[in-house]
Amino acid sequence: MLARLIYTLLLFLVSPVLLWVLYRKHPNKPAISHRWKEYWGFTPALCGNHPLWIHAVSVGEVIAISPLIRELKRQEPSISILLTTTTTTGAEQAKRLGDLVEHRYMPIDFSHCVKRFVLKMQPKAMVIVETELWPNTLHTVSKARIPITVINARLSENSAKGYRKIKPLFDIISHSVNQILCLHTDDAKRFIGLGVDERKVSISGSIKYDLIISPDVIVAGSTLRSSLGLNRPVWIAASTHKGEDEQMLSIHRNIADEHPDALLILVPRHPERFNDVEANCKQQGFITARRSNNQAVDKHTQVYLGDTMGELLIMLQCADITVIGGSLIGDKVGGHNLLEPAALGKPSLIGPSYFNFTDITRQLATAGATKICDDKSDISATLLQLFSDKQKCNEMSKAALSVVNANRGAINYTIKHILKSMN
C-alpha cells in the first residue's frame, strides 16, 4: 500500500510532463484533438458489451497484435474487442483494423481514472501486449475481478535488475496479473526469479513469428521498387533514432563511393523527426525525396525518406538489405525487432546494442540470417560485401524464412489462454 502511495505521488509530480508529451501538437504526428479527455477515463460508450480489452501502447505493439486479433475474430466472431493505445500514432495504426476493434486511449495510471474507465467499458478480461505494466491500472483492474493476461512478455536482465530495486511495487504488479505468456525460457525464469508464482508463467513463443505478410504488401513493395529502380543497390535503415541518422548517412556515403547509383531508404522511428531528418540529409549534400510528397525518384536520388505511417513493411519489401535502428546509440534503446524483415526474407544487420530483442537477434544470427555488427564501419563493410555477393544474400534470406517458419504457432497458443481466462 505504501509503495503504491509513493508511486502515485511521484506520478502526480511527473504527470504534467507526461501529459504535455501526449497532448502536444507536432508536425507529422497525429493530434489527440477532442479525445484528450480519454486519458482521464472520460470515454465514449462502446457498441459492444463486456469486451475483451487489449492494451498495445504504440505502433509496434499494435502491428504485433494485429494478426492475433484477426485470427481471434475468425475463431470467435461474436467477441467484442476494445483496443487501447497510449500514443496517437498507435491510434492511427489501430484504424487499419477497421471494425474488428473499437479504439480508445488508455487512461493515465491514476486509480480514479482507471476505475472510471473500467466502470464505463465493463471489460470481461484484459490483455497486455509485451510488458506495459502500470501498478495502479493492474491493481484497479484486478480489484474489479477482471482477469489480466500479459502476452508476448519479455523481461531483459536490465529490466529485471530495475524491478528488483522497486520490489514492493513489482509485487503489486505480479499479484494482480493472472497469467504471463513469455517469449522465451529466459524471460520466464526472470519473472519467476522476481517472485511471480511459476503457475502463472508459461512460454508461448512470440506472436510476432506468426506475422502474415499480406499479398498487398508484396505487390506494393514490388511496385515501389520498380519506381525506385530495379537494377540499383537499395538498402533500408529502419526505425532510426536521433544520433543514428548521421551514422546511416555516413555509411551510405561509403556505399556510394563503390556503388554511385545506390539508394538509402531512411525510416526514422518517430514521425516528429521527419522534417529534421530531411534537413540533415540535404545539409549533407544528399539528393533526397520524401515518400509523403510523392516526390519523383530517378537515378540521381540518393536518399528516400520513409515519412509515412504504417508502410514500413512495404519499404522493407522493396529493399535488398535491412539495417535495424536503435542499435547504434549505446544502451539508450536496445534495438528493434528483426522479425519483420525476416518474415519478408530480407538479410539484416544490427548494431551492438540489441538487449530488448536478445533472444530473437541471437537466434537469427546463429542461423546466419542476420549479422551483429560492432559499429557503423562494420555495417558499411558488410553492406558492400553483400551487395557484391548475391549468393550470400540468398543464403541469409533462406535462413531468415526458415527461422520464422520454425517458430510459428504462438498465436493459437495465446488465443487458447485468452479464451480460457474469459470463461
Q: Give dist(CA 255, CA 21) in Å, integer.
A: 37
Looking at this protein, which amino acid is placed at residue 186? D
Q: In what order do the strands lie in the sheet with 102-105?
A: 102-105, 81-85, 52-55, 125-129, 148-153, 179-182, 201-203
> DSSP letter string over 40-104?
GT--PPPSSSSPEEEE--SHHHHHHHHHHHHHHHHH-TT--EEEEESSHHHHHHHGGGGGG-EEE
Q: Assess whether 61 carries a catalytic annotation.
A: yes
Look at residues 340, 330, 336, 321 and name the one whose alpha carbon lies nearest to residue 375: 330
In the set 38, 61, 278, 311, the catalytic residue is: 61
Q: Give dist(CA 277, CA 323) in Å, integer.
A: 17
Provide the 3-class DSSP secondary structure of residue 263: strand
Q: Distance between alpha carbon 317 and the CA centroid of its chain, in Å?
A: 18
Q: Which three cell numbers stand for residue 325?
A: 535502428
Looking at this protein, which amino acid is placed at residue 250? S
Measure Cα distances from 250 to 212, 286, 287, 371 in Å. Answer: 34, 11, 14, 19
Count the neighbouring beta carbons within 10 Å of the beta carbon of residue 193.
12
Q: Give dist(CA 36, CA 107) in Å, integer.
A: 10
- 61 neighbors 31 (Cβ within 8 angstroms): no
Q: Give dist(CA 125, CA 422) in Å, integer.
A: 6
Q: Give dist(CA 111, CA 30) in Å, integer.
A: 27
Instruction: Find all residues with CB under 8 Å of 25, minimum gap 6, and list them.
Output: 31
Looking at this protein, which amino acid is placed at residue 393? C
Q: Which three cell numbers stand for residue 189?
A: 525464469
Q: Which three cell numbers stand for residue 46?
A: 462502446
**Which residues does the annotation mark as catalytic?**
61
